[in-house]
Amino acid sequence: MTPSAPARAAARQPRPISLADFRAAAREVLPAAAFDYLEGGAADEHTVRWNAEAYERLALLPRVLTGTSGVDTRRTLHGTELPSPVLLAPTAAHGLFHPEAEAATVRGAAAAGALTTVSTFSTLTLEEIGAAATGPWWFQLYVQRDRALTEELVHRARAAGAGACVVTVDTPVTGLRERDLRNGFALPSHGTPANLAGSRPGAPGSAHRGIHDPRIDPAVGWADLERLRTVSGLPVLAKGIVRPDDARRAAEAGIGVWMSNHGGRNLDTAAPPLATLPAVAAAVAGRVPVVVDGGIRRGTDVVKALALGADAVAIGRPYVWGLAVDGADGVSAALRALHRETELALALLGAPDLASLTPDLVAPAR
């Protein structure tokens, strides 16, 4: 029997021990266009680079002789206790990366004790994902022009087991994804969004033609998020906040803050979330949790974000690398690698738990 391409690639590669290793292995097994779809950002991809470089520009100042004999990485978010402050950010079309798609993702995340955020544009239906999930998960929502469909999606997610609704607020239009344009990339049949099957795109007026998506409503406002909280009966988070004034308004409305610039995939040269995290955390003042994503590749990145005011962090591309390499086992292995690094960073910082991560542990590196 001839080995498959992934099996041949796995035989050539040493066992991944870091997220960078998983990225290299994923590049070996994925078609070039699928890898570019995952990796690519908007325009010149400055923001993609800046997200990671923001962490590199910060140094850690460890405490010594603290008598730390163990570390506790538990964190409670919206009533759910998690063994780690690392969440899975929503990413679309997992069928592009593994035949078992999001079913493998939620199984792998649960095995590592992590919470998954499931995309509106998932390959599998919410019901299929909920049946496969053995751990907590949230639902990421793109508000549709068809508001009846929007409410239906939220009700389906809750019925399938979702514990919160994460509303993407930074995508009134899709960014300029030049890698995809050069590749002539389009989602294949095994990557199309199952949750929108049978639905019809809205009929945008003349102001909504051209750059606007025929399904996603660009005119979403704060009142829509407050209504979704009432309609869903779930905690609601706004994903895509980077400004303190927006964060303050969300907190005043009881809406969770998810700091993100969409992984650098929307507005190129947008600021890295880490750059405004201290100001956002101050504006929120503990009224709602603050989640931050973008550029996290090491456990030291995790502790830097938490020290500067985040309650949790989220990763996107890195767990998809694991999914591409080895399905559910690859997802859990990538998460465990990052968790181990986080534990080591806490111990070496002299911080016994997440509450011990304070701003004085971080300084500019250059």
**Active site (catalytic) residues:** 262
The closest alpha carbon to 182, from 40, 356, 63, belongs to 40
The closest alpha carbon to 103, from 88, 87, 86, 124, belongs to 124
Phi-psi region of 254 (alpha: psi -120 to 50; beta: other; left: phi over 0): left
Question: Residues 278, 309: contact at Cβ < 8 Å?
Answer: yes
Question: Residues 59, 362: contact at Cβ < 8 Å?
Answer: yes
Structure tokens at 345: 């960073």
Place of tokens 């599998």: 124
Structure tokens at 175: 């960014």
Rounded to an integer, what distance in angstroms lies between the CA atom of residue 225 and that of residue 221?
7
Encode burial over 270-282: b for 16+ CB neighbours within 10 A, e otherwise.
Answer: bebbbbbbbbbbe
The closest alpha carbon to 103, from 123, 129, 122, belongs to 129
- Mapping DSSP onto H, E and C, the string for 180-223 reads HHHHCCCCCHHHCCHHHCCCCCCCCCHHHCCCCCCCECCCCCHH
Q: What is the largest CA-CA distance in the chain?
A: 66
In sequence order, what are the residues at sequence separation of 6 or more whose Cβ sits closer than 8 angstroms to the Cβ of residue 201?
A: 145, 214, 215
What phi, psi does 186 have (nearest 5°)? -140, 145
Give the chain's length: 366
The closest alpha carbon to 58, from 313, 296, 348, belongs to 296
Half-sphere exposure in the Cβ direction for 222 (13 Å, CA)? 14
